[in-house]
Amino acid sequence: MRTVSKLLLLAGTAGALAYPWLVPNYYLVYAGVLTVMYAAMATSWNILGGFTGYVSLGHSAFFGLGAYGTGLLITRAGMPWVLALLVSAVLVTVAAAVIGVAAVRVRGASFVIVSIALVSVMNLLVQGWRSLTGGATGLQVPAPFELSRGQTHMVFFYLFLALLGLVLLTWWFISRSRFGGGLKAIREDEDKAEMLGVPTAAFKVVAFAVSALFVALAGGLYAVWFRSLDPIFVFSIVSGVYMVLMSLLGGVRHLFGPLLGALIIAPAGEYFLIALGESQIHLTATGVLLVLVVLFMPEGIVPRLVGRPKGASIREDTAEQRLQEVKG
Amino acid sequence: MSEPLLSLKDITAGYGRAALVLRGLSVTVEAGQVVCLVGPNGAGKSTVLRVASGLLAPRSGSVVLAGEDVTGRSPQALLDRGLSHVLQGHSVFREMTVAENVRLGGYTVRDKARLREREEAVKELFPIVAERWGGIAGLLSGGQQKQVEFARALMLEPKVVLLDEPSMGLDPKTTQTVFDQIDLMRRAGVAVLLVEQNARRALEMADVGCVLDLGAVHISGPARELAADPRLGALYLGGAAARNGPQA
């Protein structure tokens, strides 16, 4: 089984690296960039959602902050784009840690509402601060390379792929660490975890901030790739919902769950957009999918594929055998 | 008579603005001793354990652990000082493996060598834990889950273990296994404060029994003598002992 997994991983990596060279046109490269970007974002979301069980619908706030941070540092401070990307991501992570101290004090539905409020506040803030951000008209970011649009898609496909690899590695390391063990305990029973000495408050804030870091990096890369920032899109609750949906669909307990979810939902979203036009009907399809996943596959696709864990303690001896045992 | 490892003195405690649950309760547990708290529902048995483990701060009275006054300290602080609390019902982390569950018991220990040593020790003490080490804890039977909880509780080599109704929901055979494990803890020198609904069975294996009623120790004494005391049944059957007045 381990060999099969390694072969699948190798084939998947080779397929991803070869993808831009195999597809017949740049539109499909563009769709690939979007898919990999969402895969990275969903896996980042899963650092918080998957390990701790805290469902944030407002992670697009960090995507938007990362995008605007990078764009503003390039356009207003004249920073090189790589430096702007990193500085912006660090600033967003610090902001997320500060926000996290207050946000993760509440659990369940209250946390979901707080996370939605966060993205709405950020959206209003960016739209209202016209002198800095350009307001509702958005922000234009200069091109990072002197390449054609298609070649730019090729470059950013690999940049987002590198980010995805980094997030996957981070998730993998956390899942095997003492920190990850504490986060999983929080997911199952926060009070009990605290009783056993897990510093629950600090761990939740760290998970929130690390999760925000990678989403902010995705936002920064989006800014220099797409070059036109629309606050309605980058601070959209819908993209936050996408991160949740992708993770739920693939399986939040698994490393590759959110990636698998992204591989299904991002291309499907693009398809619906082409088939149904610039209407909002594709959102209905997303909503229906979310309901179906929650109702019929709450654990996601990956657990279905790998099967249920073995080792249930179902008694295998008969009543007769037990009676003999009692009689001695 | 040795010094008590855990001593609760004149404890009054309650939840919020509700009436007091514990009213001047005192109880002590020595090393290698099992003290069993029995009593009707609502007598305050589980509340005693919550006060002892720091989950509930008493309104008055003191909690002394190994000679140190730990009244009002957090559960984590008490854990670090050698007090472990196994909660009522099944409290394993169901989606985690047995290994992950047991390791959480030693979460505050950073010395990997000591952790490995403790893992081996609890595996030896609870063979089922060793056998199911990589399995999902939630898939174990009730008795096996209870043993995982015991193993987790012993990871830090506690001086005092608080057990809240460990036989709850278990069949008689599994209950016997659980009580055998409690006996093993006693032999290892651990002070055990046990709360049980299965009063007669628990008093048969305990050293000291305390019958609680209306938030105070109503009768206490050697557990086996208490098990034969007709007042125990009377108290369970409708508070006759309460009408006869308390005895220490």
The rounded distance, in Å, linking the Cα atoms of A19 and A185 is 39
Domains of chain B, each with CATH number or no CATH? 4-244 (3.40.50.300)
Question: Which residue from B94, B107, B135 is facing A182, i.e. has the nearest CB?
Answer: B107
For B187-204, write each residue's pLDDT tens digit: 989 999 999 888 888 898
Give the length of chain B.
Answer: 248
Q: What is the pLDDT of residue A327?
A: 56
* Number of structural domains found in chain A: 1
The rounded distance, in Å, linking the Cα atoms of A23 and A25 is 6
Q: Is residue A178 part of a domain?
A: yes
Burial of B12 (0-12, 13-18, 19+ CB in 10 A): middle
Q: Is residue A284 part of a domain?
A: no
DSSP-based three-state secondary structure for B15: coil
Contact (CB, 8 A) for B213 and B40: yes
Q: Interface of chain A against chain B, CB under 8 Å?
A: 178, 181-182, 184-185, 187-189, 192-198, 253, 309-313, 315, 326
Question: Which residue from A188, A197, A326 is facing B76, i.e. has the nearest CB?
Answer: A197
Question: Which residue from B79, B93, B144 is facing A189, i.e. has the nearest CB?
Answer: B93
Q: Is residue A138 part of a domain?
A: yes
Q: Do A313 and B140 touch (CB under 8 A)?
A: yes
Contact (CB, 8 A) for B160 and B190: yes
Minimum distance, in Å, between the CA of residue B139 and any CA atom of chain A: 5
Q: Chain A contacts of B173, Cβ < 8 Å?
A: 326
| Assigned token pair, A36 | 């990999």
| Assigned token pair, B232 | 């125990």
The rounded distance, in Å, linking the Cα atoms of A126 and A148 is 30
Q: Is residue A179 part of a domain?
A: yes
Q: Which H, E and C letters describe chain B, residue by residue?
A: CCCEEEEEEEEEECCCCCCCCEEEEEEEEECCCEEEEECCCCCCHHHHHHHHCCCCCCCEEEEEECCEECCCCCHHHHHHCCEEEECCCCCCCCCCEHHHHHHHHCCCCCCHHHHHHHHHHHHHHCHHHHHCCCCEHHHCCHHHHHHHHHHHHCCCCCCEEEEECCCCCCCHHHHHHHHHHHHHHHHCCCEEEEECCCHHHHHHHCCEEEEEECCEEEEEEEHHHHHCCHHHHHHHCCCHHHHHCCCC
The rounded distance, in Å, linking the Cα atoms of A165 and A17 is 12
Minimum distance, in Å, between the CA of residue B16 and any CA atom of chain A: 19
Q: Which residue has the higher pLDDT, B19 or A157?
A: A157
Confidence check: pLDDT of B233 > 50: yes
Q: Do A188 and B53 touch (CB under 8 A)?
A: no
Q: Do A195 and B105 touch (CB under 8 A)?
A: no
Q: Do A313 and B139 touch (CB under 8 A)?
A: yes
Confidence of residue B181 (pLDDT cuts 50, 70, 90): confident
Strands B160-164 and B191-195: parallel
Q: Interface of chain B against chain A, CB under 8 Å?
A: 53, 55, 75-76, 79-80, 85, 87, 91, 93-96, 100, 103-105, 107-108, 132, 134-136, 139-141, 144, 152, 173
Confidence check: pLDDT of A318 > 60: no
Q: Do A189 and B132 touch (CB under 8 A)?
A: no
Q: Do B76 and A312 touch (CB under 8 A)?
A: no
Other Cβ atoms closer than 10 A to B182: 23
Picking from B55, B79, B107, B118 by the largest number of A CB atoms within 10 A of its own CB, the best residue to mutate is B107
The rounded distance, in Å, linking the Cα atoms of A219 and A62 is 7
Q: Do A184 and B96 touch (CB under 8 A)?
A: yes
Minimum distance, in Å, between the CA of residue B239 and any CA atom of chain A: 34
Q: Do A184 and B95 touch (CB under 8 A)?
A: yes
DSSP track, A94-124: HHHHHHHHHHTTS-HHHHHHHHHHHHHHHHH
The rounded distance, in Å, linking the Cα atoms of A324 and A205 is 56
Q: Do B85 and A195 touch (CB under 8 A)?
A: yes
Size of interface A-B (CB pairs under 8 A): 63
Q: What percent of chain A has pLDDT above 70?
A: 93
Q: Is residue A249 part of a domain?
A: no
Contact (CB, 8 A) for A44 and A214: yes
Other Cβ atoms closer than 10 A to B134: 12
For A139-152, write each residue's pLDDT tens digit: 999 988 888 989 99
Residue of B nearest to A326 (CA): B173
Q: Beta partners for B22?
A: B13
Q: Is residue A9 part of a domain?
A: no
Of the candidates A162, A172, A163, the one whose C-alpha atom is nearest the C-alpha of residue A257 is A172
DSSP annotation of A136 reads G
For A277-298, write each residue's pLDDT tens digit: 777 777 787 778 778 877 888 8
pTM of the model: 0.82
Minimum distance, in Å, between the CA of residue B117 and any CA atom of chain A: 17
Number of helices (H), then strands (E), in chain B: 11, 10
Minimum distance, in Å, between the CA of residue B76 and any CA atom of chain A: 5
Q: Chain B contacts of A189, Cβ < 8 Å?
A: 91, 93
Q: What is the pLDDT of residue A322?
A: 53
Picking from A174, A195, A324, A325 by the largest number of B CB atoms within 10 A of its own CB, the best residue to mutate is A195
For A248-257, write each residue's pLDDT tens digit: 999 998 999 9
Contact (CB, 8 A) for A300 and A261: yes
The values of phi and psi at residue B190, to 5°, are -80, 140
Give the length of chain A.
Answer: 328
Residue of B nearest to A188 (CA): B93
Confidence of residue B245 (pLDDT cuts 50, 70, 90): very low
Q: Is residue A228 part of a domain?
A: yes
Q: Is residue A5 part of a domain?
A: no
Confidence check: pLDDT of A191 > 70: yes
Domain range for residue A99? 24-236
Q: What is the pLDDT of residue B66?
A: 92
Q: Which residue has the higher pLDDT, A273 or A317?
A: A273
Q: Chain A contacts of B152, Cβ < 8 Å?
A: 196
Collect all residues with Cβ–Cβ distance below 8 Å to A113 and sequence separation of at least 6: none
Picking from A196, A254, A321 by the largest number of B CB atoms within 10 A of its own CB, the best residue to mutate is A196
Contact (CB, 8 A) for B141 and B64: no
